[in-house]
């Protein structure tokens, strides 16, 4: 594989949004691609544990970060395109101006908005106004209304942070089948 090729997403951090989708390789280094996933998992844990971020913005921000950090290939176009799909500009503007304005202002202060290596969110004015885009808000509404199982992003603590003292998840068994000890032990 080389930079610009489209491969199926096989990571963990964005499985809820990118499972089965094709993403564009942005580096020939596998480690660089793994770094994106690690950084997104860390960002998600921070966002999920931050009391200043509303529940709605947590879910939306995870979706936006996944679709922004990973370049999603346009597989619906009859002509293969090297131009990845971007988040819909109108959704980006609504999120920035109405749904999560304080959260995005805070993110911008920490260089998390734009096209830099740390950026989890796109700069809305820089997004194309093209018809082919990734809808975030419509997808969120339909997911919230049709999903009977609570997606991972809705849980406040699906993973432990620091010592795990405030872990509220339901998992008490490791992937290898061993039973976890109580945090108090």
pLDDT digits (tens, 9 = 90+) for 60-101: 999 999 999 999 998 876 666 678 899 999 999 999 999 999
Dihedral sign computed on CA atoms, order 63, 53, 50, 152: negative
Architecture of domain 6-149: Orthogonal Bundle (1.10)
As a dihedral over the C-alpha atoms of residue 23, residue 14, residue 69, residue 72, rounded to 10 degrees, the angle is 30
pLDDT given at position 120: 93
Helix boundaries (H) for 5-147: 15-18, 30-49, 55-69, 89-94, 101-109, 137-146
Residues forming a β-bridge with 113: 121
**Cα-based distances in Å from 132 to 36, 62, 83, 128, 180:** 24, 21, 11, 9, 46
61 within 8 A of 119, measured Cβ to Cβ: no
Give every residue of the chain whose pLDDT is below 70, as ranges.
Answer: 77-81, 130, 139-175, 182-185
Looking at residue 176, what is its pLDDT?
Answer: 74
So what's the pLDDT on residue 173? 67
Model pLDDT, residue 139: 61
What pLDDT does residue 144 have? 43
Q: What is the pLDDT of residue 155?
A: 39
Give the pTM: 0.71
């Amino acid at each position: 594989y080389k930079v610009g090729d489209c491969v199926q997403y096989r990571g963990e951090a964005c499985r809820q949004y990118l499972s089965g989708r094709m993403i564009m390789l942005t580096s020939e280094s596998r480690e660089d691609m793994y770094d994106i996933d690690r950084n997104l998992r860390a960002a998600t844990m921070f966002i999920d544990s931050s009391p200043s971020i509303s529940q709605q913005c947590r879910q939306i921000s995870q979706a936006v970060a996944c679709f922004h950090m990973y370049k999603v290939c346009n597989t619906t176009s009859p002509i293969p395109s090297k131009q990845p799909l971007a988040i819909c500009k109108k959704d980006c503007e609504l999120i920035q101006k109405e749904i999560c304005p304080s959260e995005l202002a805070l993110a911008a202060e920490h260089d998390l908005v734009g096209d830099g290596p740390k950026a989890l969110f796109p700069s809305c004015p820089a997004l194309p106004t093209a018809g082919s885009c990734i809808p975030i808000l419509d997808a969120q509404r339909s997911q919230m209304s049709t999903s009977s199982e609570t997606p991972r992003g809705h849980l406040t603590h699906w993973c432990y942070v620091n010592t795990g003292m405030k872990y509220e998840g339901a998992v008490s068994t490791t992937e290898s089948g061993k039973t976890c000890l109580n945090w108090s032990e």
